[in-house]
Structure 1
Amino acid sequence: MKLECPYCKGDLIKGFIDSGLHSLKWHNENMGLLEKVTVFGGEVLSDCIRVKCYRRKNCNKIIIDLNEL
């Protein structure tokens, strides 16, 4: 199934982001410095080291479906 980029309407390519040994976390831009740079800060989105995503290289966008985590 082909997915369309919501920004440029081109085809998205399915792939994954490799987070190395760590979980994928969300950091709100308003968090304090210690929350952003320590392992204790942030909201864990996935404990997996690989997160499925879709990329559109032309417009430089990556889309992650949190329901697929």
Structure 2
Amino acid sequence: MQTPNLEQLLTQTVEVVIRAGQLLIAEWARVDGPRGQGDKAAVDEETNSSYVSTCCSFFLATSGERKPDIV
């Protein structure tokens, strides 16, 4: 296993988090208000799914590992 480039991984992760924040801001700015009810919203699922898959890909690309079947 290669040692991951942590600086690159951090930079890419920060970019993903900023994008997730932008999606949340856009959701709250919708004319009809945010989608969803209570503590569940479609944007939560969208940002979480994107975050997990993208960060997993970043780590795997920098470490040389193969993608786990569960992701």
Normalising to structure 1: TM-score of the pair?
A: 0.28
* Structure of higher RCO (CA pairs closer than 8 Å, 6+ residues apart): 2
Q: By percentage of residues, which structure has more helix? A: 2
Q: By percentage of residues, which structure has more strand? A: 1
Normalising to structure 2: TM-score of the pair?
A: 0.28
Q: Which has the larger radius of gyration?
A: 2
